[in-house]
């Protein structure tokens, strides 16, 4: 009999509501997962949505409903609540049913003593007890009791005891609501790795497989090394299945070694990828890729990628879309030409050690940052990641490219006093850029796409100078640190915060336009604002800006500039940045598994230390609210943040459209606040969480 199909008259009622009352030790999500009765989807259960005819209707099964009471009682008793009572309330309205389970939990049976024996000479028992899921003084939860036994067994297996077993025993005094439990370890023999057998290889050399393994003959047995070997073999991309385990399920008498069996099944050696999409700052884009796994043997992979964006707005594909579907780019001068990136990368895992990886790549690109700069270059990147399997892998890389970076004329004029068109052309010439970068990541989040617990810390240091191959214009040191932390609140709630800080220290001064300045290329400066920064500001609009007009009036001997007639703003970025975010995410009553609400506050600023033009002061704080929709690609989010600040004031330049030269006026331009509340709300749309 099925609980989801109307097979009899009494089953034809639709469950329009399912609720629990009185439960405190176990939440609604856990209780719903333990029973067969389930509520219809939101479109079929909420009266104001039923008329749409959407959603799945789930039917009421009288027999399964009675069994659900027993299921809940068993769940509570397994959780330590021996005296729990479950009552029900069923409200029938025609063909609809509203079900309520009323729970009287009572006092739990508490664990007064937990004894761990058999590991005194192997483990620190006091520290082990503190780390177990089941704790003295808490409810005697049988599931946590089993989890505690598994925890001890795992620790023993990672210390060289492959056949460790844990015997469980307990004594419950239901009348006194007390329990005592014992976990007795039977470690078995201490063992080392003997033989490592590899079966199932066809085209892949067994020596390549052996090089990827974390287990070697004569090593002390560790279960986690077997798991790590399995993950690394999967990561090669050439196997469709991998198992790494022991040949024998029980120890062999008189033998202190174990035999490891690696069983693989090979898959396709090549992969082709093709994708297309639309982005508000990319317009239409296409990308493709081809990967060859185990390229020339040795587990290395060769990856060829290509990406083109700004299709529909950039030359030679300009189709006049700036005025409609790609209207976000209507005044972005950096989007006048398509962007592209072509890359060829060779990756070598197990570089001198299974714990290290290396990569070498060649690339050609043209990329633009919204309203900020355009970078066109060809070059190479080489890097080595050390201890890739540890908590904090460190990557040392070197990049070298030859290319040119261009920005708005006002950026060069305000930052470096290079206002003449000929001098700007000098800065925009192709130059060498070489840099050494050291970066580290401490990733302890529970999900890459949508983290709800753990932390993520990233840090990077870059050095560019003539010593590492850079042109004299490209000499600086750049550092950045980012810390994110996630705290789960119930089943679906999350509180998260992020702090980011960065600074750039120029290595030397250079002479430009008859003066000594610190030059930092526009593509290496910090920019703020956007869906992953301070969300009250559009992309790159946080921080110092300059303004340019080409309109003026001559009244007698006076020249009056008219920025109100024609003016454009250009972000100049900065050499220091601070961004802080705090966000509370919680499920919505409608589609709680698919949709969440976020309340957030962002704060940050971009500064130009030691620079007069565009200098700003004070953090900008923008609160907001957003929606999160779960998809297979990660959460799609829509954020709306309120910006109560006027745009940053900045120097006003007059541009002669004939000579393209700029002149600094005596006007400091200050755009006014948009009138009304809603015009100060900035809407951001993106895929993935903000941090």
Write the DSSP string, 512-570.
ETTEEE----GGGSB-B-STTS-TTS-TT-BS-EEEEE--EEEETTEEEE-TTTS-EEE
Amino acid 568: pLDDT: 80
Q: Is the pLDDT of residue 1 over 50?
A: no
**Domain residue limits, the chain:** 9-104, 110-186, 192-266, 268-390, 391-687
Higher-confidence residue: 572 or 555?
Answer: 572
Q: Which CATH class is domain 192-266?
A: alpha beta
Amino acid 604: pLDDT: 95
State how far the Cα of 653 lies from the Cα of 549, in Å rounded to an integer. Answer: 6
Amino acid 255: pLDDT: 83
Say which CATH architecture domain 110-186 belongs to.
Roll (3.10)
Buried b (16+ CB within 10 A) or exposed e, 54-90: ebebbbbbeebbeebeebbbebbebbbbbebebeeee
Amino acid 558: pLDDT: 59
pLDDT band for position 125 (cuts 50, 70, 90) = very high
Nearest C-alpha neighbor of 270 from the set 296, 287, 293: 293
Share of the chain above pLDDT 90, in %: 53
C-alpha torsion angle, residues 317, 318, 324, 327 (rounded to 10): 100
Amino acid 10: pLDDT: 46
Amino acid 611: pLDDT: 59
The three-state secondary structure class of 104 is strand
Amino acid 171: pLDDT: 95
Segment 590-599 shows an average pLDDT of: 84
Query: 488, 450 in Cβ contact below 8 A?
Result: no
Q: Do domains 110-186 and 192-266 have the same CATH topology?
A: yes
Place of tokens 């389970």: 101
Query: 510, 473 in Cβ contact below 8 A?
Result: yes
Q: Is the pLDDT of residue 400 over 90?
A: yes
DSSP-assigned states of every residue in 132-184? SSS-TTSB--HHHHHHHHHHHHHHHHTTT-TT-EEEEEEEEETTTTEEEEEEE
pLDDT band for position 643 (cuts 50, 70, 90) = very high
Query: 542, 606 in Cβ contact below 8 A?
Result: yes
Higher-confidence residue: 580 or 546?
Answer: 580
Size (the chain), residues: 691
Amino acid 585: pLDDT: 93
Segment 128-150 shows an average pLDDT of: 94
* CA-based R_g, the chain, Å: 32
Segment 470-481 shows an average pLDDT of: 91
pLDDT band for position 515 (cuts 50, 70, 90) = low
What CATH number matches the domain at 9-104, 3.40.50.720, 3.40.50.620, 3.40.50.360, 3.10.20.310? 3.10.20.310
Q: What is the layout of strands, in order, in the sheet containing 85-93? A: 14-21, 96-104, 85-93
First and final C-alpha spacing in the chain: 47
Amino acid 45: pLDDT: 55
pLDDT band for position 635 (cuts 50, 70, 90) = confident
For residue 236, what is the DSSP state?
A: T
For residue range 242-263, list pLDDT tens digits in order.
999 999 988 888 888 999 999 9
Higher-confidence residue: 66 or 418?
Answer: 66
Query: 600, 533 in Cβ contact below 8 A?
Result: no
pLDDT band for position 78 (cuts 50, 70, 90) = very high
Ranking 366-375, 547-556, 567-576 by mean pLDDT, the lowest is: 547-556
Amino acid 20: pLDDT: 94
**Which two tokens mark 37?**
């009765």
Ranking 27-31, 65-69, 150-154, 243-247 by mean pLDDT, the lowest is: 27-31
Q: Is the pLDDT of residue 227 over 50?
A: yes
Segment 458-486 shows an average pLDDT of: 93
Segment 166-187 shows an average pLDDT of: 94
Q: Which CATH class is domain 391-687?
A: mainly beta
Share of the chain above pLDDT 70, in %: 90
**β-strand 595-607 against 620-629: which pairing, if any?**
antiparallel
Q: Is the pLDDT of residue 94 over 50?
A: yes
With a CB cutoff of 8 Å and minimum separation 6, the contacts of 62 are 10, 11
Higher-confidence residue: 419 or 75?
Answer: 75
Q: Within 13 Å, how many C-alpha atoms sit on residue 114's CB side?
A: 25
Query: 405, 411 in Cβ contact below 8 A?
Result: no
| Mean pLDDT computed over every residue of the chain | 87
Identify the bridge partners of residue 586 per DSSP, sorted by sequence position: 597
Amino acid 104: pLDDT: 95
Amino acid 291: pLDDT: 95
Q: Is the pLDDT of residue 667 over 60?
A: yes
Extended strands (E) in 239-372: 239-246, 257-266, 270-279, 283-293, 301-311, 339-348, 357-369
**Which two tokens mark 155?**
């620790």
Q: Within 13 Å, how many C-alpha atoms sit on residue 513's CB side?
A: 19
For residue range 416-450, list pLDDT tens digits in order.
667 677 767 777 788 999 999 999 999 999 988 88
Query: 211, 177 in Cβ contact below 8 A?
Result: no
For residue range 42-55, list pLDDT tens digits in order.
555 555 455 555 55
pLDDT band for position 287 (cuts 50, 70, 90) = very high
State how far the Cα of 288 lies from the Cα of 274, in Å rounded to an integer. Answer: 4
Q: Supply the pTM of this predicted model.
A: 0.80
Higher-confidence residue: 143 or 15?
Answer: 143
For residue range 476-486, list pLDDT tens digits in order.
999 999 999 99
For residue range 289-327, list pLDDT tens digits in order.
999 998 988 888 999 999 999 999 989 998 888 888 888
Amino acid 4: pLDDT: 45
Amino acid 550: pLDDT: 77
pLDDT band for position 563 (cuts 50, 70, 90) = low
């Amino acid at each position: 009999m099925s609980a989801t199909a109307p097979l009899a008259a009494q089953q034809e009622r639709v469950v329009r509501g399912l609720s629990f009352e009185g439960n405190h030790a176990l939440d609604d999500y856990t209780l719903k997962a333990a029973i067969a009765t389930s509520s219809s989807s939101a479109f079929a259960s909420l009266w104001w949505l039923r008329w749409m005819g959407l959603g799945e209707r789930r039917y009421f099964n009288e027999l399964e409903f009675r069994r659900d009471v027993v299921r809940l009682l068993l769940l509570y008793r397994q959780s330590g609540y021996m005296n729990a009572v479950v009552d029900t309330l069923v409200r029938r309205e025609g063909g609809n049913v509203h079900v309520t389970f009323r729970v009287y939990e009572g006092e739990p049976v508490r664990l007064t003593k937990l004894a761990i024996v058999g590991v005194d000479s192997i483990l620190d028992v006091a520290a082990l007890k503190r780390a177990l899921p089941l704790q003295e003084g808490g409810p005697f939860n049988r599931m946590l009791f089993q989890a505690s036994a598994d925890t001890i067994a795992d620790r023993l297996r990672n210390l060289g005891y492959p056949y460790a077993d844990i015997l469980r025993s307990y004594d419950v005094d239901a009348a006194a609501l007390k329990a005592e439990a014992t976990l007795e370890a039977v470690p078995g023999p201490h063992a080392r790795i003997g033989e490592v057998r590899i079966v199932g290889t066809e085209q892949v050399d067994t020596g390549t497989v052996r090089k990827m393994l974390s287990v070697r003959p004569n090593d002390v047995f560790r279960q986690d090394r077997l798991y790590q070997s399995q993950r690394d073999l999967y990561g090669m991309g050439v196997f469709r299945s991998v198992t790494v385990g022991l040949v024998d399920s029980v120890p062999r008498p008189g033998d202190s070694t174990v035999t490891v069996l690696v069983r693989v099944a090979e898959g396709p050696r090549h992969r082709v990828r093709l994708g297309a999409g639309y982005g508000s700052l990319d317009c239409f884009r296409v990308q493709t890729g081809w990967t060859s796994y185990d390229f020339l043997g040795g587990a290395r992979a060769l990856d060829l990628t290509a990406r083109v964006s700004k299709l529909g707005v950039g030359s030679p594909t300009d189709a006049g879309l700036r005025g409609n579907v790609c209207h976000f780019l209507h005044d972005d001068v950096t989007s006048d030409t398509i962007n592209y990136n072509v890359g060829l990368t060779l990756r070598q895992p197990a570089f001198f050690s299974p714990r290290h990886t290396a990569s070498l790549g060649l690339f050609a690109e043209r990329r633009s940052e919204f309203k900020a700069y355009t970078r066109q270059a060809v070059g190479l990147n080489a890097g080595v990641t050390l201890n890739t399997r540890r908590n904090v892998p460190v990557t040392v890389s070197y990049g070298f490219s030859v290319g040119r970076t261009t920005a708005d004329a006002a950026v060069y004029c305000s930052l470096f006093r290079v206002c003449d068109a000929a001098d700007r052309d000098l800065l925009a010439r192709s130059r060498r850029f070489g840099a050494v970068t050291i970066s580290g990541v401490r990733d302890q989040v529970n999900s890459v796409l949508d983290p709800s617990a753990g932390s993520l810390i990233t840090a990077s240091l870059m050095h560019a100078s003539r010593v590492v191959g850079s042109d004299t214009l490209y000499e600086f040191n750049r550092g950045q640190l980012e810390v994110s932390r996630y705290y789960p609140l119930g089943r679906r709630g999350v509180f998260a915060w992020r702090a980011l800080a960065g600074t750039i220290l120029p290595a030397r001064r250079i002479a430009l336009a008859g003066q000594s300045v610190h030059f930092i290329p526009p593509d290496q400066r910090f920019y703020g604002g956007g869906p992953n920064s301070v969300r009250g500001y559009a992309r790159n609009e946080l921080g110092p800006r300059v303004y340019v007009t080409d309109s003026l009036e001559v009244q007698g001997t006076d020249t009056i500039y008219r920025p109100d007639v024609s003016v454009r703003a250009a972000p100049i970025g900065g050499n220091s940045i601070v961004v802080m975010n705090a966000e509370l995410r919680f499920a919505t009553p409608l589609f709680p598994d698919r949709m969440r609400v976020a309340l957030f506050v962002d704060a940050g600023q971009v500064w130009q230390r030691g620079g007069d033009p565009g200098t700003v002061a004070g953090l900008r704080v923008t609160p907001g609210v957003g929606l999160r929709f779960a998809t297979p690609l990660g959460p799609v989010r829509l954020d709306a943040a309120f910006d109560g600040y006027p745009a940053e004031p900045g120097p006003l330049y007059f541009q002669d459209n004939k000579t393209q030269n700029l002149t600094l006026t005596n006007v400091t331009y200050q755009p006014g606040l948009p009138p009304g509340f809603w015009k100060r709300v900035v809407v951001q749309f993106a895929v993935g969480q903000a941090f």
